[in-house]
């Protein structure tokens, strides 16, 4: 049995999908230690795992991509955040490896410094990816812009040209990232989109056909979503009047998406539904709910999904996949990050609808929700695929394939000196 060290970014939406995997690893006899954001440490300990906070300087660098003027600029801003956090992750993960006497590392796909340390450590390691991956393949559109697949010569030309444009944009971060990787003793990358590809195992918490089908690299395992939510009290009491619920959610990481709730409250005020809006990073007191609506900061989504006809959301992978796993169609209004991709995948799978945030209005949102509710068949198809992907058991299998094997020359706990010190 292995001592597994799990290292997350300061994002609850990345930590929550891991919980079923960690519980399965413990059930199989592995010891699991977690490094995560400070506010989640006690919650992880309450689940029975060893946990300590990541370095405060990592959390202090808040993601500010919501300030960007365009989706590509937002992705570039996020990349800069990950590099800046990564400088603090180097010493943080090295210290954790020694303190925990780790034998296998499982690191967040967005912890670029931690991934470089893991790569250079000499230990078996894997990354976990709770969102759709930018892995290139014929017929798969360039990642991040929310384009639909386009087949034939025209699609191949479009995709080749757009990848060149995206590489030129994203690779503005590459010199800083490669300096970070060299300081950790890891090899430089050719393109920023290769940041996760160095891992011997990539555990992706999604599945086809929600993810576009392709010939995946041997390192990738699609295991379906990790479905877990923290205890947040009882769900709001709703009248048992036969009306379906429309669940409206904002991002857990602030991105200034409160106008989605405002539009939904107005759009659905006269519809024969019960609206429940969870505002997460936004103060619920700023909204004026109509008679058929309840607005709270947090509520358990599971009981609400059991009554839901639709989920209206920003397109975070957590809530989107949770809804689809319950067979509930989704109306996605993407604001940034990976949400343009999520919205397009929902639409292509006919498991819901997409409405660009620049076109958001109560009238358009009402129409998009009405269409989404007719797409339960697509949502049910995705739900079945998620179940078949294997979930926590498949994720644990993927990690156990990396059984710790140390060369005789590898120093204790996998810590090797950076490349420049070994030269």
pLDDT in tens, 9-64: 998 778 889 999 999 999 999 999 999 999 999 999 999 999 999 999 999 998 77
Strand partners, 150: none
- For 271, what's the count of Cα atoms within 13 Å in the CB-facing half-sphere? 22
Mean pLDDT of the chain: 90
Tokens 């991040």 — which residue? Answer: 144
- Prediction pTM value: 0.89
User: Mean pLDDT across the stretch 258-268?
Assistant: 96
Query: What is the CATH architecture of 3-224+390-422?
Result: 3-Layer(aba) Sandwich (3.40)
Rounded CA separation 175/192 (Å): 9
For residue 125, what pLDDT is reported? 97
Residue in 159, 322, 135 with CA at minimum distance from that of residue 220: 135
Rounded CA separation 94/195 (Å): 19
Specify the domain boundaries for CATH 3.40.50.2000 within the chain.
Answer: 3-224+390-422, 245-385
Burial of 145 from C-beta contacts in 10 A (0-12 / 13-18 / 19+): middle
Assign domain 245-385 one CATH number from 3.30.70.1520, 3.10.20.30, 3.40.50.2000, 3.60.21.10: 3.40.50.2000
**220, containing H or E segment:** strand 220-222
Residues 342/315, Cβ–Cβ less than 8 Å: yes
pLDDT digits (tens, 9 = 90+) for 311-361: 999 999 999 999 999 999 999 999 877 899 999 999 999 999 999 999 999
Burial of 412 from C-beta contacts in 10 A (0-12 / 13-18 / 19+): exposed
Q: Is the dihedral of CA 104, 110, 114, 120 positive or negative?
A: positive
Rounded CA separation 277/260 (Å): 10
């Amino acid at each position: 049995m292995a001592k597994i060290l799990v290292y997350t970014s300061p994002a609850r939406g990345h930590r929550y999908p891991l919980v079923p995997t960690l519980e399965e690893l413990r059930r199989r006899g592995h010891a699991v230690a977690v490094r995560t954001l400070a506010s989640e440490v006690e919650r992880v300990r309450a689940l029975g795992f060893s946990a300590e906070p990541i370095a405060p300087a990592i959390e202090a660098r808040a993601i500010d991509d919501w300030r960007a003027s365009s989706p590509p600029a937002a992705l570039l801003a996020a990349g800069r955040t990950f590099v800046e956090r990564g400088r603090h992750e180097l010493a943080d993960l090295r210290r954790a490896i020694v303190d925990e006497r780790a034998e296998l590392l499982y690191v967040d796909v967005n912890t670029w410094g931690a991934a470089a340390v893991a790569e250079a450590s000499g230990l078996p390691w894997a990354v976990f990816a709770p969102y759709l991956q930018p892995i290139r393949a014929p017929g798969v559109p360039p990642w991040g812009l929310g384009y639909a697949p386009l087949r034939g010569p025209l699609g191949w030309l479009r995709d080749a040209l757009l990848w060149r444009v995206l590489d030129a944009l994203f690779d503005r971060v590459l010199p800083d990232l490669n300096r970070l990787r060299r300081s950790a003793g890891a090899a430089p990358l050719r393109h920023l989109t290769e940041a996760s590809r160095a891992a011997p195992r990539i555990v992706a918490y999604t599945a086809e056909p929600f993810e576009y089908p392709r010939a995946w690299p041997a390192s990738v395992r699609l295991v379906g979503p990790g479905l877990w939510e923290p205890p947040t009290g009882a769900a709001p009491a709703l009248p048992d009047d036969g009306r379906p619920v429309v669940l409206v959610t904002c991002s857990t990481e602030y991105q200034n998406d409160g106008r989605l709730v405002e539009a939904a409250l107005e759009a659905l005020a006269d519809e024969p539904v019960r609206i429940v809006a969870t505002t997460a990073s936004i103060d619920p007191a700023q909204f004026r709910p109509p008679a058929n609506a309840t607005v709270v900061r947090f509520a358990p989504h599971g009981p609400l999904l059991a009554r839901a006809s639709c989920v209206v959301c920003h397109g975070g992978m957590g809530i989107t996949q949770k809804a689809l796993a319950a067979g509930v169609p989704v109306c996605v209004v993407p604001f940034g990050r990976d949400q343009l991709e999520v919205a397009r995948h929902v639409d292509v799978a006919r498991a819901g609808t997409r409405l660009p945030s620049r076109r958001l209005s109560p009238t358009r949102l009402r129409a998009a929700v009405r269409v989404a509710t007719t797409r339960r068949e697509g949502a049910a198809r995705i739900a079945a695929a998620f179940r078949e992907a294997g979930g926590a058991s498949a994720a644990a299998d993927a990690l156990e394939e990396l059984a710790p094997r140390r060369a005789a020359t590898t120093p204790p706990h996998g810590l090797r000196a950076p490349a420049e010190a070994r030269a």
